[in-house]
């Protein structure tokens, strides 16, 4: 009897859900469909994932022993138990040294065509090893020093062999590949926005829906397009940059020191690249305060006002800000459920210099 | 056919295992039984664990937002993905500040009757909040500041209510209780030594068995007794201290600067407590290099030699050191399998001061 009732209720549930989903999509939902995040991240042909590679990448991501003094791991600044960032203006590396720009979230980085604020890295593999030898981040002397240290840790050799199918697989390229493979699992599909776009009318509020419409009408989505709201899909290696700030004649520029960092020009030395930045993802943006490359804007509401003024020369009403805020909150996905890595150990000795 | 063969092999396996376990224990195994780690940690009557409390404690343990600048969590120095320590001589707190003594492992701390090298804390609850306001560790201004910050984080209020069954449960005592409840899950029973003690003759090597005998015959286990090899079971609040070094007329004392730290005297100001330290656990000691309160001894082999000389005035042979080393390695348990916590988030803002 009880079982029959359960089946009946389950059927009713399916019918309700089905009728909701089979209702024609609204014009906004049809538009929203182009922003839906895929359930799987794309992977390059030369780094196809496997479970061993992902598990190895997770260990490396959490292992502070590949920083100079054993205190900083990738997860220190890209906390995957939280927002994929450290929620600081700029990050702290070994010895408490501060970086120059705010750490972006690692979540959904797998969908981006440009990494780093100045777009100087284009693939997860390229990016993964940068912080290891950055003197204010993990501060290892060289990639060789990273590999040498990993070779001292019982268990890593075996993990690399399992992940890459060859005996002599512990090298810096495979460190990068393993970390990248792990990062491709750090995605947050099925946010309320995605569920709404696919037909669940009640997944987001009326205010959030108005916010999405406003984002399109104001012009925000001209740049913040695509599944990660980070620009159009471009060939690998082609980054999507915009000038920030575009409109400089406003109080925000001075208040938040927005002209200090020349962005992509610091890499290319080309004057045409001055203040060009890659378009960052808006996915989970409500969880990644403080905002912008310098982390000087403390709240998302203020970040919305700043963007409207500096990029579109528009002053938003309080209601518009609220609606866009609610829309952006609806882009908050669920942090992936994960087991903790169990780091390979060394017996009777520490690889961290004392 | 294949299934039958599998069942047959399984039965053979059971018979072999059973015959091994039903063989009478050797004299050494009988002695070893008094050192076996229980499968569950004891818990105080006023902090009975529940799953919500443990989950909350895990979130708090991993949450860097309860440090001054949002960079240090309990796990920073007591890494439960690894050895329960940071494998550094002394730990680094906010801004890279260094502590004065080496972080002990959190694993099996639930079995200890004295916490901290000088035994100034006697329960996990007492200890849990100390680092939060220590200026060179997490550096929060006060316990009130910790609570105030937690109250800003959406979700914590609800977690505290679930864990403690009352509405107004977010206070510093419950922060301590939740962290302690989580720490009581961080135990490593069933090490090779424990399996050997319970009758599995092949769980440890002949050298490790000789090492255990040597530990007893030399006198090491006079102090390193009980399931955590940290001293006898004493009433709650009664710590087991020993003078270290006891014999000071040897090269090690100067080489490793063993007279600089006066141990318990720094707390009690009583001259009788000079150089008295709690007896640390030997469980997982092979994974927690470098060694001693000041972390100045880099390898376990050297730590064995130092202890024999400074505490028992004995010079060990290379074979004795090897045997004791192998015995100590056999005390390495398995790091508990855990899911990652998913930290409660704040929307549109960061609680970390910028």
Sign of CA dihedral A153, A154, A156, A161: positive
Provide, rounded to the nearest whole percent, the portion of chain A with pLDDT above 70: 94
Collect all residues of chain A within an 8 Å Cβ-Cβ radius of residue B289.
346, 348-350
Provide, rounded to the nearest whole percent, the portion of chain A with pLDDT above 90: 90
Q: How confident is the model at residue B296 (pLDDT cuts 50, 70, 90)?
A: very high
Sign of CA dihedral A4, A8, A14, A15: positive
Q: State the number of CA atoms in the 13 A half-sphere of B244 facing the CB.
A: 23
DSSP A45-72: GGG---HHHHHHHHHHHH-GGGSTTS--
Q: How confident is the model at residue B21 (pLDDT cuts 50, 70, 90)?
A: low
Task: Note whether residue A337 is domain-resident.
Answer: no
pLDDT(B19) > 60:
no
Task: Note whether residue B325 is domain-resident.
Answer: yes
SS3 B121: strand
pLDDT(B234) > 90:
no
Q: Least CB-CB distance to B341: which of A81, A92, A300?
A: A81
What pLDDT sits at residue A341?
98
Sign of CA dihedral B30, B35, B38, B42: positive
What pLDDT sits at residue A13?
46
pLDDT digits (tens, 9 = 90+) for A79-122: 999 999 999 999 999 999 999 999 999 999 999 989 999 999 99
Encode burial over B175-200: b for 16+ CB neighbours within 10 A, e otherwise: bbbbbbbbbbbbbbbebbbbbbbebe
Task: Note whether residue B341 is domain-resident.
Answer: no
Interface contact flag, A64 B79, Cβ < 8 Å: yes
Collect all residues of chain B within an 8 Å Cβ-Cβ radius of residue A295.
354
Same structural domain, A237 and A298: yes
What pLDDT sits at residue A294?
98
Beta carbons of B284 and B272 less than 8 angstroms apart: no
What pLDDT sits at residue B4?
52
What pLDDT sits at residue A21?
54
Collect all residues of chain B within an 8 Å Cβ-Cβ radius of residue A300.
347-349
Same structural domain, B280 and B311: yes
Catalytic residue among A28, A55, A125, A137: A137
Collect all residues of chain B within an 8 Å Cβ-Cβ radius of residue A257.
none
Q: How confident is the model at residue B154 (pLDDT cuts 50, 70, 90)?
A: confident
Q: How confident is the model at residue A7 (pLDDT cuts 50, 70, 90)?
A: low
Collect all residues of chain A within an 8 Å Cβ-Cβ radius of residue B300.
347-349
Give A45→chain B minimum CA distance, Å.
30
Interface contact flag, A87 B352, Cβ < 8 Å: yes
Same structural domain, B132 and B237: no
Give A97→chain B minimum CA distance, Å.
7
DSSP B85-105: S--SSS-B-GGG-B-SSPPPP
Task: Note whether residue A114 is domain-resident.
Answer: yes
pLDDT digits (tens, 9 = 90+) for A40-54: 999 999 999 999 999
DSSP B285: G
For B87, the domain range is 45-183
Interface contact flag, B300 A345, Cβ < 8 Å: no
Interface contact flag, A352 B325, Cβ < 8 Å: no
pLDDT digits (tens, 9 = 90+) for B192-225: 999 999 999 999 999 999 999 999 999 999 999 9
Mean pLDDT, to the nearest integer, of B289-304?
Answer: 98
Number of domains in chain A: 2
Q: Least CB-CB distance to A287: which of B79, B80, B347?
A: B347
Give B24→chain A minimum CA distance, Å.
32
What pLDDT sits at residue A154?
84
Interface contact flag, A352 B69, Cβ < 8 Å: no
Angle at B121 between CA B116 and CA B125, to 5 degrees: 110
pLDDT(B247) > 50:
yes
Quote the radius of gyration of chain B (alpha carbons, Å): 22
Q: Least CB-CB distance to A70: which of B70, B87, B299?
A: B87
pTM: predicted TM-score of the whole model, two decimal places: 0.93
Which residue of chain A has the CA closest to B301? A348
Quote the radius of gyration of chain A (alpha carbons, Å): 22
Task: Note whether residue B212 is domain-resident.
Answer: yes
Name which residue leads in pLDDT, B16 or A169. Answer: A169
Domain end marker among A166, A183, A200: A183
Active site members of B: 137
| Across A11-15, A61-65, A146-150, A259-263, least confident range | A11-15
Q: Least CB-CB distance to A348: which of B97, B300, B349?
A: B300
SS3 B219: coil
Same structural domain, B171 and B105: yes
Mean pLDDT, to the nearest integer, of A7-25?
Answer: 56
Interface contact flag, A332 B347, Cβ < 8 Å: yes
What pLDDT sits at residue B152?
95
DSSP A291-302: BSTT--B--HHH
Provide, rounded to the nearest whole percent, the portion of chain B with pLDDT above 70: 94
From CA A181, how far away is CA A56, in angstroms rounded?
A: 9
Which residue of chain A has the CA closest to B335? A342
Same structural domain, A134 and A226: no
Mean pLDDT, to the nearest integer, of A262-272?
Answer: 96
Collect all residues of chain A within an 8 Å Cβ-Cβ radius of residue B139.
none
Same structural domain, B319 and B203: yes
Domain end marker among B161, B183, B205: B183
What pLDDT sits at residue A18?
47
What pLDDT sits at residue B235?
78
Same structural domain, A195 and A260: yes
Query: Among B302, B350, B352, which would you mutate to test the A interface (most chain A Cβ atoms within 10 Å of its Cβ)?
Result: B350
Q: How confident is the model at residue A12 (pLDDT cuts 50, 70, 90)?
A: very low
Mean pLDDT rounded to a whole number for chain A: 93
From CA B325, how far away is CA B301, in angstroms rounded?
A: 6
Q: Which two tokens stand for residue B116?
A: 């901290």
Question: How far is CA B167 from each of CA A115, B96, B170, B171, B248, rounded to the nearest angstrom?
Answer: 44, 38, 8, 11, 56
Same structural domain, A64 and A143: yes
Encode burial over A34-62: b for 16+ CB neighbours within 10 A, e otherwise: ebbbeeebeeeeebebeebbbbbbbbbbb
pLDDT(B145) > 50:
yes
Interface contact flag, B342 A81, Cβ < 8 Å: yes
Task: Note whether residue A339 is domain-resident.
Answer: no
Q: How confident is the model at residue A235 (pLDDT cuts 50, 70, 90)?
A: confident
Beta carbons of A189 and A308 less than 8 angstroms apart: no
Same structural domain, B147 and B211: no
Give A336→chain B minimum CA distance, Å.
9
Query: Among A340, A343, A352, which would you mutate to test the B interface (most chain B Cβ atoms within 10 Å of its Cβ)?
Result: A340
Query: B243, B245, B266: which is closest to B256 by C-alpha?
Result: B245
CATH number for position B69:
1.10.760.10
Query: Among A60, A82, A137, which would you mutate to test the B interface (most chain B Cβ atoms within 10 Å of its Cβ)?
Result: A82
Collect all residues of chain B within an 8 Å Cβ-Cβ radius of residue A97.
96
What pLDDT sits at residue A9?
47
Collect all residues of chain A within an 8 Å Cβ-Cβ radius of residue B334.
342
Chain-centroid distance of CA B87 in Å reads 13
Query: Among B58, B81, B102, B256, which would you mutate to test the A interface (most chain A Cβ atoms within 10 Å of its Cβ)?
Result: B81
pLDDT digits (tens, 9 = 90+) for A143-167: 999 999 999 998 999 999 999 999 9
pLDDT(B2) > 70:
no
Beta carbons of B279 and B231 less than 8 angstroms apart: yes
What pLDDT sits at residue B232?
87
What kind and span of H or E run contains B125?
helix B124-128
Mean pLDDT, to the nearest integer, of A328-351?
Answer: 97
Same structural domain, B251 and B324: yes
What pLDDT sits at residue B233?
79
Task: Note whether residue B247 is domain-resident.
Answer: yes
Task: Note whether residue A17 is domain-resident.
Answer: no
Domain end marker among A132, A163, A183: A183
Query: B69, B65, B50, B48: which is closest to B155 by C-alpha?
Result: B65
Same structural domain, A166 and A250: no
pLDDT digits (tens, 9 = 90+) for B155-183: 999 999 999 999 999 999 999 999 999 99
Same structural domain, B161 and B293: no
| Across A75-84, A234-243, B43-52, least confident range | A234-243
Mean pLDDT rounded to a whole number for chain B: 93
pLDDT(B133) > 90:
yes
């Amino acid at each position: 009897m009880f079982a029959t009732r359960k089946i009946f209720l389950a059927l009713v549930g399916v019918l309700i859900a089905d009728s909701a989903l089979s209702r024609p999509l609204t014009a906004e939902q049809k538009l929203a469909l182009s922003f839906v995040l895929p359930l799987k991240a794309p992977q390059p042909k030369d780094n196809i994932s496997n479970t061993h590679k992902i598990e190895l990448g997770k260990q490396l991501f959490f292992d502070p022993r590949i920083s100079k003094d054993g205190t900083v791991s990738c997860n220190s600044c890209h906390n995957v138990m939280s927002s994929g960032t450290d929620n600081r203006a700029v990050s702290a590396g070994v010895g408490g040294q501060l970086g120059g720009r705010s750490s972006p979230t690692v979540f959904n980085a797998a969908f981006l065509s440009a990494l780093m604020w100045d777009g100087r890295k284009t693939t997860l593999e390229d990016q993964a090893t940068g912080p290891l030898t950055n003197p204010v981040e993990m501060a290892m002397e060289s990639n060789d020093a990273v590999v040498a240290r990993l070779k001292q840790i019982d268990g890593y050799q075996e993990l690399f062999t399992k992940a890459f199918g060859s005996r002599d697989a512990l090298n810096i390229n495979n460190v990068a590949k393993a970390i990248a493979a792990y990062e491709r699992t750090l995605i947050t599909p099925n946010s309320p926005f995605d569920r709404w776009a696919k037909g669940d009318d009640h997944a987001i509020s009326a205010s959030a829906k108005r916010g999405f419409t406003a984002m399109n009408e104001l012009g925000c989505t001209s740049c913040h397009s695509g599944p990660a709201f980070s620009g159009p899909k471009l060939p690998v290696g082609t980054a999507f940059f915009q000038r920030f700030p575009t409109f400089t004649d406003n109080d925000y520029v001075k208040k938040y020191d927005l002209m200090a960092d020349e962005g992509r020009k610091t890499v290319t030395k080309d004057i045409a690249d001055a203040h060009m930045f890659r378009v960052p993802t808006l996915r989970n943006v409500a969880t990644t305060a403080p905002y912008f490359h310098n982390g000087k804007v403390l709240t998302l509401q203020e970040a919305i006002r700043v963007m409207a003024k500096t990029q579109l020369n528009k002053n938003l009403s309080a209601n518009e800000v609220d609606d866009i805020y609610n829309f952006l909150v609806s882009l908050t996905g669920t942090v992936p459920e994960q087991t903790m890595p169990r780091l390979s150990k060394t017996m009777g000795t520490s690889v961290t210099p004392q």
